[in-house]
Amino acid sequence: MTRLLHLDASPRPGRSGTHEHGSHSRRLSHHFIEHWKAARPRDAVTRRDLGVRPPSLLNVEWIEAAFTPSAQRPAALQQVLAESDSLVDEVIQSDVLVLGVPLYNYSYPAAFKAWIDQIVRVERTIYFDPANIDHPVGPLLNDRPRHAVILSSRGGFGLGAGGPLAHLNHLEASVRTALELIGIGHFHEIAIEYQEEGGERLDASVRDALAEVERLVARLQRDAFPVPRAVSA
């Protein structure tokens, strides 16, 4: 069974095409999950809505707790990390991270950054060894292949790889950097553009992105997470 973690970071609660002023990134992430489950109804999906319930921001108590070795951490400090532990556990248990993340001011919303900060944890998702001068920091989640699917929406256009404004887009590269740090090694990116312009170019971008999501689901299920064949007696 493949386990999926479905995150949405848009503060818009609805989905475009279904709800007035709904989120395009939510539409893509839900489309991914719906098509995955249509073919694999038994696969597990954990859902977390970062846009509606943003993770807590880090504070001095969190930093003290996270950098106190777990064997020396008193109960009070352990409680400070309870939310982070839940978020980290969801990532550890997942094979595919389905991330609905809109482009805000050329990066991602604050709620998504709060999630990133909560899951990059010494002893949980990364190691820190000051004695290793060349590589003091390394991943702990490289025990098996994990995939991250970044499903975004952009008000403008030309912000994708190779586009004339790609140098302004700091979303996907930043997500990859953080998740590679903890050990996730496979990335897939699909985005809707022309949201501010609207009209036919937005409609075409939506159609293309939805079709690309369907192709990605089929490819992942075929190549990365094939269903084991039953062995006949």
User: Is residue 153 annotated as involved in ligand binding?
Assistant: yes
Residue 154 marked in a binding site: yes
The type of residue at 107 is S
Is 152 marked as a binding-site residue? Answer: no
In DSSP terms, 23 is beta-bridged to: 15
- Whether residue 14 is annotated as binding a ligand: the answer is no
Question: Does 56 appear as a known binding residue?
Answer: no
Between strands 96-100 and 3-8, the pairing is: parallel
To the question of whether residue 17 is assigned a binding role by annotation, the answer is no
What contacts 24+ positions apart, CB below 8 Å, involve 217-225? 217/32, 217/35, 217/36, 217/39, 218/39, 220/96, 220/147, 220/188, 221/36, 221/39, 221/40, 224/145, 224/147, 224/186, 225/2, 225/95, 225/96
155 in a labelled binding site: yes
Q: Is 10 annotated for ligand binding?
A: yes
- Residues making up the annotated binding site are 10, 23-25, 153-156
Binding site membership for FMN: which residues?
A: 10, 23-25, 153-156
